[in-house]
Structure 1
Amino acid sequence: MSEIKAWRSSALKGLIHVKHGFPFKSEYFADAGKHVVLTPGNFWESGGFKYQPGKEKFYDAQFPADYLHKRGDLIVAMTEQAEGLLGSMAFVPEDGRYLHNQRIGKVTATSGDIDLGFLYYAFRTQSVRTQLSNTASGSKVRHTSPERIYEVSLPLPPVETQKGIAAALSVLDAKIDLNNRINAELEALAKTIYDYWFVQFDFPDDNGRPYKTSGGRMVWNDTLKREIPAGWAGDNIGSVADVLGGGTPTKANNSYWNGDIPFFTPTDATGDTFQLVTEETITESGLANCSSQTFDRGVVFITARGSVGKVVIAGRAMAMNQSCYALRPKTPESYPYVFLHAKRLVHHLKVKASGSTFNSIVTNDIDWTQLVRPPTEKILAFCAVTRPMFERIERGLRENRELTQLRDWLLPLLMNGQVRVA
């Protein structure tokens, strides 16, 4: 008998235990604190843990100690926060910080016949997702339960084989995570340089010294109501980029859709610096019959409705819908500056909207928001420093896309024994 046939399918009952979360009281949620309450919103759609700085739910009250996670604890989404998230699993990334509420379950092994790393990947297969979806309850918000999870059946190779499968897949995930961390550090470094040059005005002077700190001449600007370096000005973002709109071809004509042209919308902006792919695509006919044009690589998008205020760089030529603005750099190589300048614009708009709902960006917001306008040569000097950082970010994102495709291709083959780990 081959090894594949020897892999028995087994339900998870008796192999794991799923512990529901604690009913944390909303009146004790805080804007800051030591402990963060995990929810299904902390999951990537692919099943990984998603840390969202600035969106944490801190908890400022007593709670049972056994609801505080250790690094490496396995948790599962019991509620479908978004399509495809039901049953997503993640490993908690650090000790003593995270709590799980009633929409999250903590998974522990109760048998030596199951490896939790293998289980984590098994719960990303279509077979397991289908089983959970078919048994979920609820109409608007779908739920699963420990009992339904125990009924999930999956091929169960020997535990050493399980560990080998998990190790092989985790190598790919580790590289993806490393690229993500490098990208985050590089973008943060580029922003720090931007702030140092264009907010604090300590760009290198003619002698390589920090301009303002070294006594560089500052003059009052009536437009900005502040002092800025001599020779600089105040202007809107249209001084460094053409501000363009988009449009959507009618959904009634099928020949306009599912073509070769990526079609960017606010839902595509998920936090990456560069937008490489989009959920929807249109045809040449669709492009000809809507208000969008094709925007080249390096054009910066700002989402104006829906997920408002997200800023991304087009990583390839694509069209765009009417819920966004496109900022086409007047000098193509200056896209790093335009990207960070757009983030500065969004920051100004959010500060202006303090106390009210920030639910859209309109043309007047862009036209009337005055920002510091450095000389072109200073912008290009900044981009010469930071452009290699952005090029490395883009390479990391492209590599991650390839690694993700490889991992997702290997996943079902490893899980059903078609590919074996040596």
Structure 2
Amino acid sequence: MNNAKLTIAEVCQFIGGNQPPKSTFSNIKLTNYVRLVQTRDFKTNAFPTYIHENSTTKFFVKDDIMIGRYGPPIFQIFRGMEGAYNVALLKAKPLNNILNDYLYYFLKQDEVFKYVDKLSARTGGQTGVDLISLYKYPITLPTIENQLKIAAVLSALDDKIELNNKINIELEQMAKTLYDYWFVQFDFPFDFAQGKPFDYAQGTQNQNGTVAERSQLVAERSRLVAERSRGYKSSGGEMVYNAVLKREIPKGWEVKKISEIAQTGSGGTPKSTTKEYYENGKIPWVNSGELNSPFIISTKNFITEAALKNSSAKYFPANTILMAMYGATAGKTSIISFEATTNQAVCAVMPKEKEFFHYTKFVLDDMYQYLINLSTGSARDNLSQDKIKNLDVIIPDNEILKKYSNQVVTSFEKIKNNLKQNQELASLRDWLLPMLMNGQVKVGESDGEVLGLVAEERGVYKKV
């Protein structure tokens, strides 16, 4: 079969899920229980649900293509989890002559989404996928060989994005682990002989000598670290009871309000019915739903100067820490890497001293569960700028803060750079996707106009 013109119904079957009674749900994994995956679980692992394996017949594995049936937004395409699935999800099962990976990327096309979204039906107040219409959608099916090539190209991009995401998780965990050691367990490196935080620069002077002299300096530095750098609390460092926190903290450290170490602010939403506030807008406008990554490197939302002038929206500088005050991301933080405005659901936190920047980010992250409890109580407005400003935080020794910042600043920059690269890779993938599917771009040999991908030699592309 060479570029056969078919419909989705001829190459794919959509299988709905089951909805076991809520009374059978467990929030912990018990013996013979499996994960009941819902649409939200592909975005957050915060609310896992488990059911007995005999209470359903609908299961899926990591490579299966899963589709969000209801919205908004409808027709979200997912992969990567496994377990049972509920009625809000569909499993796309490939039939003859179509590869699973090719079907996955075909369904992710923007044109397919627009088609489904336009024809979606409302059921019980929810917008749902119209399966009859979806089955009628046309598909031009390449040979299996070409499907493999196309899927390999797009998978190479997704693999690189996934690798960057894994690296970012590890980098953030390393910075957070160091934060926990130093500022939660209070085992920061301390030189008891000198009575001060350990100076890692000791033994690094005069590095221009002979190989033997430099080796001797390295050995001396290692000896100093081994002999004099010890964890403060675990080595008997003096702790002092703090009445505000009702626990002990290292001697010389203080407790202050967030407002004493950082400026805070919030934004606003220009009137949505006023077109001049949004049309051709060039001012970045960040909302709370975008706070789902360590850094925000771009936004799809923009407002105009008129909107800025006639609303509560205001500019915040690059490297401002943003915290979502309500909504699905309540309590989450992100750092904006560019000057931007925000809506009223976001609290901007701007440390007054640069040494507090990385520390404050993790202080706020550490309070996530406490803040979530505030935002999910009976009074939904409990999480506010005033609540955040009045949070009590430990103020460490300034030298310790400087050392911590120096230790993690490179990791933060790598995370930001990886996110920027991911944005570029995703943009390239989204540009290539429809062109590969409709034959405007083909995967071939090295002749023709070559389109660069990433460092991996996974394919060469040429326009036709």
Instruction: Quote the Cα distance in structure 2 between the aligned partners of 1:251 and 1:127.
Output: 27
Question: Is 1:381 the counterpart of 2:372 in the alignment?
Answer: no
Asked if 1:314 is matched to 2:299, the reply is no
Asked whether the 8 Å contact 1:11–1:150 carries over to 2, the reply is yes
What is the CA deviation profile of residues 360-397 of structure 1, one whole-angstrom value per residue up to 9, with x for unaligned ones?
42244224331212122222211111111111110111
1:246–1:319 CA contact under 8 A, matched in 2: yes
Take 1:235 and 1:252, find their aligned partners in 2: how far apart are those partners? 43
- 2:449 maps to none
Distance across 1 between alignment mates of 2:66 and 2:274: 44
Q: Who is 2:173 aligned against? A: 188
Shift of 1:145: 5.8
- Aligned partner of 1:30 in structure 2 is 26
CA contact (8 A) 1:132 1:152 kept: no
Q: Comparing 23-32 with 6-15, which one deviates more in the overlay?
A: 6-15
Pairing 1:126–2:89 present = no
Distance 2:417 2:8 in 1: 40
The residue aligned with 2:423 is: 401
How far the C-alpha of 1:202 sits from its partner, in A, is 0.8
User: Does residue 274 of structure 2 align to residue 286 of structure 1?
Assistant: no
Correspondence 1:244 to 2:244: no
Stretch of structure 1 that moved more, 238-247 or 181-190: 238-247
How many angstroms apart in 1 are the aligned matches of 2:442 and 2:23?
51
Checking the alignment, whether the CA contact within 8 Å between 1:349 and 1:365 is kept in structure 2 is: no
Q: 2 CA distance for matches of 1:41 and 1:374?
A: 38
Structure 1 58/358 Cα, relative in aligned 2: closer, same or farther at 3 Å?
farther
Larger Rg computed on CA atoms? 2
How far does residue 352 in structure 1 lie from its aligned partner after superposition?
6.3
How far does residue 119 in structure 1 lie from its aligned partner after superposition?
0.9
TM-score (normalised: structure 2): 0.80
In the TM superposition, what is the alpha-carbon distance from 1:355 to its structure 2 partner? 6.5
Question: Per the alignment, do residues 332 and 254 of structure 1 end up closer, same or farther by CA in structure 2, a change over 3 Å counting?
Answer: farther
CA-CA distance at 1:290 after TM superposition: 3.5
Choose which of 71, 81, 98 in structure 2 pairs with 1:114.
98
Name the CA distance, whole Å, in 1 between partners of 2:336 and 2:401: 20
1:142 corresponds to which letter in structure 2? Answer: T
Distance 1:234 1:9 in 2: 69
For residues 253 and 72 of structure 1, what CA distance do their matches in structure 2 show?
Answer: 45
Alpha carbons of structure 1 residues 56 and 377: separation in structure 2 relative to 1, 3 Å = same
> Is 1:99 aligned with 2:87?
no
Name the amino acid aligned to 1:297: A
Q: 2:64 aligns with which of 68, 73, 76?
A: 73
Alpha-carbon distance, 1:353 to partner: 7.2
User: Can you give the 5+ residue segments of structure 2 that lack an aligned partner in the other structure?
Assistant: 192-227, 445-464
Q: Deviations over 1:136-164 (max 9, x none)?
A: 32253122365444322112111211121
Q: Deviations over 1:235-278 (max 9, x none)?
A: 11123211223234444554443422211221222x11111222
- Residue 300 (structure 1) aligned with residue 321 (structure 2): yes
Give runs of aligned pairs for residues 23-422 of structure 1, distance below 5 A: 23-33=19-29, 34-42=33-41, 50-60=42-52, 62-64=54-56, 67-77=58-68, 79-83=69-73, 85-86=74-75, 88-93=76-81, 97-111=82-96, 113-138=97-122, 140-144=125-129, 147-206=132-191, 207-251=228-272, 253-257=274-278, 258-269=280-291, 271-307=292-328, 308-332=330-354, 334-350=356-372, 360-422=382-444
- Please give the alpha-carbon distance, in whole angstroms, between the structure 1 residues aligned to 2:64 and 2:313: 47
> What's the TM-score, normalizing by structure 1?
0.87
Relative to 1, partners in 2 of residues 1:145 and 1:350: Cα closer, same or farther, differing over 3 Å? closer
Contact 1:236 1:368 in 2 (8 A): yes
Mapped to 2, the partners of 1:16 and 1:41 lie a distance apart of 24
Identify if the C-alpha distance between structure 1 residues 248 and 189 changes in structure 2 by more than 3 Å, giving closer, same or farther.
Answer: same
* Cα gap change, 1:201 to 1:224, in 2 (>3 Å): same
CA RMSD between the two structures: 2.5
What amino acid maps onto 1:26 in structure 2?
A: K
Seen in structure 2, the aligned counterparts of structure 1 residues 188 and 360 have a Cα distance that, compared at 3 Å, is farther
Q: Secondary structure at the match of 1:138?
A: strand
Question: What is the DSSP-based 3-state SS (H/G/I as helix, E as strand, rest coil) of the residue aligned with 1:272?
Answer: coil
Give me the whole-angstrom Cα distance separating, in 2, the residues matched to 1:369 and 1:358.
18
CA distance in 1, matches of 2:241, 2:376: 26
Q: Which amino acid aligns with 1:279?
A: K
SS in 2 for 1:108: strand
Cα pair distance change 1:41/1:231, threshold 3 Å:
same
Gaps of 5+ in 1: 43-49
AA at the equivalent of 2:441 = V
Inter-CA distance 259–119: structure 2 relative to 1 (3 Å threshold): same
Give the conservation status (yes or no) of the 8 Å contact 1:19–1:146. Answer: no
List per-residue Cα deviations over 1:287-329 (Å, max 9, x = no partner): 3444443211111011223342121111111112222211112
Which range is displaced more, 214-223 or 134-143?
A: 134-143
Q: 1:335 to 1:367 in 2, by over 3 A?
A: closer
Deviation at 1:331?
A: 2.0
Cα distance in 2 between the residues matched to 1:9 and 1:294: 52
The number of residue pairs the alignment matches comes to: 402
* Aligned-partner Cα distance in 2 for 1:361–1:418: 51
Cα distance in 1 between the residues matched to 2:375 and 2:62: 38
Percent of counterpart pairs with the same letter? Answer: 30
| Contact kept in structure 1, 2:358 and 2:405, CA below 8 Å | yes
Write the distance in 1 (CA, Å) between the matches of 2:129 and 2:305.
Answer: 43
Residue identity opposite 2:136 in structure 1: E
